[in-house]
Amino acid sequence: MNILEEIKDAACVGITGHVRPDGDCLGSTLGLYNYLKVNRPDLSVDLYLEQPGAEFSYLTGIDEILHTPKNVAYDVFIVLDCGSIDRIEPFTQCFEQAKKTICIDHHISSQNNDFADINLVKPEASSASEVLYTTFDEDKVNKAVAECIYTGIIHDTGVFKYSCTSAKTMEIAGKMMEKGIAYSDIIDNSFYKKTYVQNQILGRALLESVLFYDGKCIFSNVTRDEMAFYGVTGKELGGIIEQLRLTDGVEVAIFLYETGDHEHKVSMRSKKQIDVAKIAAEFGGGGHVRAAGFTGKGTVYSIVNKIGEMIERQYVDMSQ
């Protein structure tokens, strides 16, 4: 697909990504937004997302993101980094009213049900940003676009170390570096940097983490009261699951934060064996084999117990 070809007859285009936008969601949507702004100056482009985290403030165009849907029938509406239409709330109406819809994504086919008119879905790609880049003309990518693509790639690969990282991923990242981006700053500031309170709540979550299943699994949780005490929101708890995952001997890490009465946002990561996307799907969520999530009803213990049973079932199936 060549994205400029796909939209050549359009006068107005809308773009969105998934709820609670992460680095890849922001990198891909802003990457496309900036690419279209530069290469189709005549085009009217709107980007819709929830409010992004402050660590992404260096991305060009971030202040132009809209948070409420306009009542516009877009010529083309493009959804990135999102496998199902229910994850673009509250912007579904823009999608439904559009004359043509495109989805550019990297979620596996059991989750990406080809909901758009045109679907470019590459489950083997590290990130939606990587898939998006293949739709660009290389010489039309400027530094601002390169910063977005690079950001998306480093976030969905955990800075080039998850198994979704390929030689192609590295090649694209290398090309982005050649555009003159400040890659060390991008990695430090958007991926690793923690505020003082983020470090405090990370420390607390690690201190209270619990190993189970012979040390193969670990979980920790943060309550609404704790979040209020430290003055943080769910957006600022991103690095905790990553640190839990690194625990020696652990195959599956689970992190939960309370979002309502008996309701939790759950993140899961696995190292080599357990398919956490399958587990998330059973709770109505989704993601990738090694990184998935869902929002679940129940207490921390009831959710963790259920996940534990599903992990056990996968181990039993593997041994047969």
Determine which residue in the list 6, 46, 55, 156 makes contact with Mn ion, applying CB under 5 A.
156
Query: Least distance in Å: CB of 18 to ligand 5GP?
Result: 6
* Residue number, 113 or 295, with CB nearest to ligand 5GP: 295
Residue 286 makes contact with ligand 5GP by CB under 6 A: yes
CA distances from 76 to 4, 41, 46 (A): 12, 16, 11
155 binds, among Mn ion, ligand 5GP, none (CB under 5 to 8 A by kind): none
The amino acid sitting at 277 is A
Beta pairing class for 100-105 and 252-260: unpaired
Query: Least distance in Å: CB of 269 to ligand 5GP?
Result: 7
SS3 108: coil
User: Using CA atoms, how far apart are residues 239 and 260, in angstroms rounded to an integer?
Assistant: 21
Task: Tell me which residue of 259, 300, 309 sits closest to 282, measured CA to CA.
Answer: 309
Q: Which two tokens stand for residue 293?
A: 């999530």
How many CB atoms within 10 Å of residue 319? Answer: 6
Peptide bond into 90 cis (omega under 30): yes
Query: Least distance in Å: CB of 235 to ligand 5GP?
Result: 10
Q: Check: CB of residue 104 under 8 Å from CB of residue 85.
A: no
Residue 24 makes contact with Mn ion by CB under 5 A: yes
* Residue number, 62 or 128, with CB nearest to ligand 5GP: 128
112 binds, among ligand 5GP, Mn ion, none (CB under 5 to 8 A by kind): none
Determine which residue in the list 37, 155, 245, 288 makes contact with ligand 5GP, applying CB under 6 A.
288
158 binds, among ligand 5GP, Mn ion, none (CB under 5 to 8 A by kind): none
Which range of residues in 31-39, 50-58, 224-232, 291-299 is near ligand 5GP by CB under 6 A?
Answer: 291-299
User: Using CA atoms, how far apart are residues 248 and 88, in angstroms rounded to an integer?
Assistant: 36
Residue 130 makes contact with Mn ion by CB under 5 A: no
The amino acid sitting at 206 is L
Which range of residues in 51-59, 92-100, 126-134, 285-293 is near ligand 5GP by CB under 6 A?
Answer: 285-293
Residue 291 makes contact with ligand 5GP by CB under 6 A: yes
Residue 35 makes contact with ligand 5GP by CB under 6 A: no
Residue 158 makes contact with ligand 5GP by CB under 6 A: no
Determine which residue in the list 28, 60, 285, 307 makes contact with ligand 5GP, applying CB under 6 A.
285
- Tokens 């041994």 correspond to 319
* Residue number, 14 or 293, with CB nearest to ligand 5GP: 293
Site string for ligand 5GP, 63-82 (x = CB under 6 A): --------------------
Q: Check: CB of residue 16 under 8 Å from CB of residue 96.
A: no
235 contacts: CB under 8 Å, gap ≥ 6: 20, 53
The amino acid sitting at 262 is H
Beta strand residue intervals within the chain, DSSP E: 12-16, 44-48, 76-80, 100-105, 118-121, 210-212, 217-222, 252-260, 263-270, 286-288, 291-297
Enumerate binding residues for Mn ion (CB under 5 A).
24, 81, 127-128, 156
Enumerate binding residues for ligand 5GP (CB under 6 A).
18, 22, 87, 267, 285-288, 291-295
